[in-house]
Amino acid sequence: MNLTTRDRIATLLVATTALIYGLWLAGFLGGLTIELVAVVVLALGFLASASAVVPGFAALLAGSRAYLAIASLFGLVALASGVLTVANATEHTLAILVITTLVLWASATLRHASRQRREVAVA
């Protein structure tokens, strides 16, 4: 799979998210509170999204409305679970935040890669 620079940046940010979460779960980052981990995951997720998103809002709206709706729903779930984790310090909501972040990254990356393949096939 040939990733764009933007997708590579997003992949690095999401991999960092997964690594931090995994290390925290394993107890290697015991000094970090669950709230701090949630804030870091949210921040890295926002940065990943901003780095891989379609260059303009008009182009985003011109794409698949079903994909936009589903991705928006997952983004809302990620945001809500992040806020709930900070407010309530529960591991379940942190897990939901990390999982939704991974799903959003995977779906965007696969979508971008398939679009690139279609563009190469047409050219």
Q: What is the pLDDT of residue 55?
A: 57
- Give me the pLDDT at residue 12, please: 97
Range of the domain at 117: 5-122
Contacts of residue 60, defined as CB under 8 A and 6 or more positions apart, other chains included, come to 53, 54, 68
Per-residue pLDDT of 52-65, as tens digits, reads 775 556 666 777 88
**The pLDDT of residue 58:** 67
Q: How many domains does the chain have?
A: 1
Query: Coil, strand or helix: which one is 55?
Result: coil
Ranges in the chain, pLDDT < 50:
none
pLDDT of residue 3: 81
Range list of H helices, 26-90? 34-52, 57-62, 65-88
pLDDT digits (tens, 9 = 90+) for 21-40: 999 999 999 889 999 999 99
Which residue type occupies 82? G
Question: Cα–Cα distance between 89 and 83 in angstroms, integer?
Answer: 10
Q: What is the pLDDT of residue 116?
A: 62
H or E element, residue 3: none
CB 75 within 8 A of CB 49: yes
φ, ψ dihedrals at 47, nearest 5°: -65, -40
